[in-house]
């Protein structure tokens, strides 16, 4: 399965079946030339027919995706996106290895310590000498091109992500909100993403968990 575009950026490595609680996806691996990082795509159904594809571009969050952290909404968004793709019967999720909005795991933990001292998630990144959001979506173009995808129904709350993809020539035909319940640990984080990073979040009253917690 040869890389179809911008092959100077990354190589397509391999694929395999990946059964999940929601559907059996196909897992694809890419290797980035510049860093050696291994990025992933999960696909389901016929996605190369030219119609807008339900898609999620998800940046790695080890603490949220794997360790069940309630500091963020990442793990819940990952599961929610896979559920939506499975329910639709077709779609794609890109999993980009850019932990901590691009600052890495150790620095994200340092940012958490600063947050524990009273600063918000944006201020913590800035105090560490990083941008508020250092993620880069350039690799999305060749990854989507691998599957013949140029038009998306993108699951995101982040208008900046839409702008970044459209600058790469990827049409976002529809934004599909991906909202998850708040809790006592991520409420301030979600408010900061809305106020300082421009994320489109549901009002707090509509996001209270079923058990009544924030």
Residues annotated in the binding site for GTP, as ranges? 56-60, 77, 99-101, 121, 156, 161
- Give the separation between CA 107 and CA 102, rounded to whole angstroms: 10
| Phi, psi of 64, deg, nearest 5 | -85, -40
How far is residue 207's CA from residue 183's CA, in Å, rounded to a whole number?
A: 9
The one catalytic residue in 46, 135, 153, 160 is 135
With beta carbons less than 8 A apart as the criterion, state whether 60 and 98 touch: yes
Please enumerate, by residue number, every residue annotated as part of a binding site for Zn(2+).
Answer: 61, 72, 74
Contact (CB, 8 A) for 182 and 209? yes
Residue 73 annotated among the catalytic residues of the structure:
no
Distance CA 182, CA 55 (A): 23
Q: Select which of 133, 153, 182, 211 is catalytic.
A: 133
Active site annotation includes 133: yes
Q: How many residues does the chain have?
A: 214
Active site amino acids: 133, 135
């Amino acid at each position: 399965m040869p890389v179809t575009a911008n092959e100077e950026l990354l190589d397509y490595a391999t694929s395999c079946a990946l059964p999940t609680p929601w559907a059996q996806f196909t897992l694809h691996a890419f290797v980035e030339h510049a860093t050696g990082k291994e990025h992933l795509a999960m696909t389901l159904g016929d996605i190369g027919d030219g119609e807008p594809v339900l898609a999620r571009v998800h940046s790695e969050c080890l603490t949220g995706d794997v360790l069940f952290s309630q500091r963020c909404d990442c793990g819940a968004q990952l599961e929610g996106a896979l559920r939506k793709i499975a329910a639709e019967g077709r779609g794609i999720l890109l999993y980009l290895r850019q932990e901590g909005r691009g600052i890495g795991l150790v620095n994200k933990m340092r940012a958490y310590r600063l947050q524990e001292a009273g600063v918000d998630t944006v201020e913590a990144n800035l105090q560490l000498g990083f941008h508020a959001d250092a993620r880069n979506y350039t690799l999305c173009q060749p990854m989507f091109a691998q599957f013949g995808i140029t038009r998306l129904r993108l699951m995101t709350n982040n208008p900046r992500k839409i702008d970044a993809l459209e600058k790469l020539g990827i049409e976002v035909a529809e934004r599909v909100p991906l909202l998850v319940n708040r809790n006592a640990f991520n409420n301030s984080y979600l408010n900061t993403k809305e106020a300082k990073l421009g994320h489109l979040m549901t009002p707090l009253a509509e996001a209270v968990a079923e058990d009544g917690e924030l």
